[in-house]
């Protein structure tokens, strides 16, 4: 429901903030796959005119995050299982490339932050907070993308992960519940990726990141609707 959307008070033009509000709604699962939305309803909920809503919708259509069903109505895209499968493998490839680029560009400060994140994950795991590992793991990926210095790769990866956020979260939870060693294995992955980045080894960094993403991808693909 669009009533779950909120417009930031600052941070760009009204059109930019309207776009971000809609995109956040999709990425955070507030707007569900297949959910219908109208320009008028979004404008009313966000307290803006139809013009910035129209611009935001046009951008999201170009990103394939929404699809038009009539001149004044759109719905959140609902990719088929086969499309989700292809997107998952594409994400693994993109994040692998980001790790490759990061290996030759990463700074000492970024290495220190990654080390801190790995420590945070290990502490959460040791104290029995398996789900508490996830925020630090997500931040780890963000730092690697930033270190890659390639905005195009980061943008493409972000667009892919915007699809099926609820399914993605369920897949991660399923992975943890199904395999008690899953978190420990993924912690080991993060340590190995960090070692490869620290050693500035692009081949190993790319290989490890792709394998790391594909492990979770198996659950994402096999998860029912």
Res 178: pLDDT: 67
CA geometry: angle 29, 30, 36, nearest 5 deg: 105
Assess contact for 88 and 79: CB atoms under 8 A.
Answer: no
In 3-state terms, what secondary structure has residue 74? strand
Q: Which residues contact 175 (CB under 8 A, 6 or more apart)?
A: 182, 215, 216, 219
Residue that wins the pLDDT comparison between 187 and 201:
201
Phi-psi region of 75 (alpha: psi -120 to 50; beta: other; left: phi over 0): beta
Res 176: pLDDT: 67
Res 196: pLDDT: 98
Res 149: pLDDT: 95
Confidence of residue 3 (pLDDT cuts 50, 70, 90): low
222 pLDDT higher than 80? no
- 98-141 pLDDT, tens per residue? 999 999 999 999 999 999 999 999 998 888 887 778 889 889 99
Q: Which of 67-71, 98-102, 142-146, 170-174 has the lowest mean pLDDT?
A: 170-174
Average pLDDT over the chain reads 85
Q: Which residues contact 43 (CB under 8 A, 6 or more apart)?
A: 49, 50, 53
Residue that wins the pLDDT comparison between 149 and 3:
149
Of 211, 57, 90, 75, which Cα lies nearest the Cα of 159? 90
Confidence of residue 1 (pLDDT cuts 50, 70, 90): very low
Domains defined along the chain, listed by start: 2-76 (1.10.10.10), 81-222 (1.20.120.530)
- 16-31 pLDDT, tens per residue? 999 999 988 888 778 8
Mean pLDDT (whole number) for 184-200: 94
- 150-181 pLDDT, tens per residue? 999 988 887 777 666 566 666 666 666 666 67
């Amino acid at each position: 429901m669009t009533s779950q959307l909120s417009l930031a008070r600052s941070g760009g033009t009204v059109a930019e903030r309207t776009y971000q509000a809609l995109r956040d709604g999709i990425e955070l699962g507030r707007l569900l796959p297949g959910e219908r939305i109208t320009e008028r309803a979004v404008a009313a909920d966000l307290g803006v005119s139809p013009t910035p809503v129209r611009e935001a919708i046009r951008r999201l259509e170009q990103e394939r995050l929404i699809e038009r069903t009539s001149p004044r109505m759109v719905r959140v895209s609902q990719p088929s299982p086969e499309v989700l499968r292809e997107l998952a493998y594409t994400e693994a490839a993109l994040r692998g490339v980001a790790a490759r680029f990061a290996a030759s560009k990463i700074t000492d400060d970024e290495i220190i932050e990654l080390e801190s994140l790995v420590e945070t994950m290990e502490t959460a795991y040791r104290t029995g907070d398996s789900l508490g590992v996830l925020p630090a793991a997500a931040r780890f990926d963000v730092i690697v993308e930033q270190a890659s210095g390639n905005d195009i790769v980061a943008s493409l990866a972000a667009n892919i992960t915007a699809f099926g956020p609820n399914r993605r979260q369920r897949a991660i939870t399923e992975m943890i519940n199904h395999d008690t060693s899953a978190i420990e294995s993924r912690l080991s992955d993060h340590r190995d990726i960090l070692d490869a980045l620290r050693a500035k080894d692009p081949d190993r960094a790319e290989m490890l990141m792709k394998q790391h993403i594909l492990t979770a991808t198996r659950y994402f693909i096999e998860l029912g609707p």
